[in-house]
């Protein structure tokens, strides 16, 4: 969450870029001028065709044609998880998503974001009353990044691993699972930008979780989650050249050493010839 103190540290370029994007955020969080309602479970998202259509051919075809959805302006997604749909919609308006925001906190988020945008406006007006600040040698425009907090997990120690390291590892596991779910949903509704972000977050979280030295002190049971990840990816993605599958191949190919996680990865490759070939392609075995 952006604070007034954060805003004061931004460059003028970043401040103005954020101000320009505030309209999209305001429409998302307030529902003002909505002409497209997306319903999922007990949730209703007030969205805008001008924002949704260009990013998702699925919704454009579903609502823009001569169908009931086109006249009613309502799309029902009964088979999807409302929390995942929320991530998708937030991405359409912000270019990001935050898995720590639960559906129960949506109203709180909307209120806080609208107040945060007011702070951006106040800072612009205050700067207009002051002389310009000379530019530094670095004139690149840096858009302030949203803080990404994947979720809080219980403290504790496991097999001598400090609590902070254990929490980071558990968060990375959860992020891998969330990234897969979001990727599959983005593929279903044809939102390539969200697919890209989810794929890259999957790989980064996988590196934090699996490409570490901590597995020398772990048990075979501790690696069970990786088999689940392989299974979910292969059941929910097409067989040839899918970007998420390729990211999985890359993750396995990056793993060095000889620990229990490496053994788990070898075991998965024994069970799936396509997985073996994908990993070998990544490490250049066929060159």
pLDDT tens digits, 97-140: 887 666 555 565 555 555 556 667 778 888 898 888 666 544 45
pLDDT digits (tens, 9 = 90+) for 193-234: 999 999 999 999 999 999 987 888 899 999 999 999 999 999
**Structure-derived torsion over alpha carbons of residues 94, 100, 104, 108, reported in degrees to the nearest 10:** -60
In DSSP terms, 44 is beta-bridged to 39
**pTM more than 0.85:** no
Question: Rounded to an integer, what distance in angstroms lies between the CA atom of residue 66 and that of residue 243?
Answer: 34
Helix H, strand E, coil C: the string for the chain is CCCHHHHHHCCHHHHHHHHHHHHHHHHHHHCCCCCEEEEECCEEEEECHHHHHHHCHHHHHHHHCCCHHHHHCEEECCCCCHHHHHHHHHHHHHCCCCCCCCHHHHHHHHHHHHHHHHHHHHHHHHHHCCCCCCCCCCCCCCCCCCCCCCCCCCCCCECCECHHHHHHHHHHHHHHHHHHHHHHHHHHCCCHHHHHHHHHHHHHHHHHHHCCCHHHHCCHHHHHHHHHHHHHHHHHCCCCCCHHHHHHHHHHHHCCCCCHHHHHHHHHHHHCHHHHHHHHHHHCCCC
43-47: strand order across its sheet: 43-47, 36-40, 74-76
pLDDT, mean of residues 275-284: 89
* 30 or 78: which leads in pLDDT: 78
pLDDT of 68 higher than 80: no
**Greater model confidence, 192 or 240:** 192
Phi, psi angles (nearest 5°) of residue 109? -60, -45
Cα-based distances in Å from 121 to 12, 128, 196, 268, 280: 12, 11, 32, 53, 53
Rg (CA), the chain: 22
- For tokens 């909505």, the residue is 34
Which pLDDT band holds residue 72 (cuts at 50, 70, 90)?
confident
**pLDDT digit string, tens, across residues 22-50:** 778 888 888 889 999 999 999 999 999 99
Tell me: pLDDT of 151 over 50. Answer: no
Dihedral angle at the C-alpha atoms of 249, 250, 251, 252, nearest 10 degrees?
Answer: 50
The pLDDT value recorded for residue 67 is: 60
Output the average pLDDT for the chain: 82
Check residue 79 and give its pLDDT: 95
CA–CA separation, 170 and 153 (whole Å): 7
């Amino acid at each position: 969450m952006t604070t007034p103190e954060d805003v004061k540290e931004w460059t003028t370029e970043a401040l103005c870029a954020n101000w320009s994007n505030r309209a999209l955020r305001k429409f998302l969080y307030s529902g003002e001028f909505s002409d497209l309602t997306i319903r999922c479970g007990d949730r209703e998202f007030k969205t805008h065709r001008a924002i949704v259509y260009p990013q998702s051919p699925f919704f454009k075809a579903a609502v823009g044609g001569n169908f009931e959805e086109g006249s009613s302006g309502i799309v029902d997604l009964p088979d999807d998880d409302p929390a995942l749909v929320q991530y998708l919609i937030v991405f359409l308006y912000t270019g990001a998503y935050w898995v720590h925001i639960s559906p129960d906190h949506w109203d709180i988020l909307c209120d806080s974001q609208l107040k945060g945008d007011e702070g951006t406006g106040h800072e612009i007006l205050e700067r207009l009353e002051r002389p310009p600040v000379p530019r530094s040698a670095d004139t690149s425009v840096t858009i302030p990044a949203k803080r990404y907090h994947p979720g809080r997990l219980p403290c504790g120690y496991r097999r001598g691993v400090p609590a902070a390291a254990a929490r980071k590892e558990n968060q990375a596991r959860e992020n891998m699972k969330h990234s897969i779910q979001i990727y599959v949903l983005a593929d279903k509704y044809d939102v390539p930008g969200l697919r890209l972000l989810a794929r890259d977050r999957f790989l980064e979280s996988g590196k934090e979780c699996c490409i570490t030295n901590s597995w020398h002190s772990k048990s075979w049971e501790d690696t069970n989650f990786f088999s689940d990840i392989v299974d979910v990816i292969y059941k929910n993605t097409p067989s040839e050249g899918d970007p998420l599958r390729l990211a999985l191949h890359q993750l396995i190919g990056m793993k060095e050493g000889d620990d229990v996680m490496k053994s788990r990865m070898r075991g998965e490759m024994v069970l799936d010839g396509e997985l073996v070939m994908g990993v070998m392609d990544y490490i250049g075995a066929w060159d």
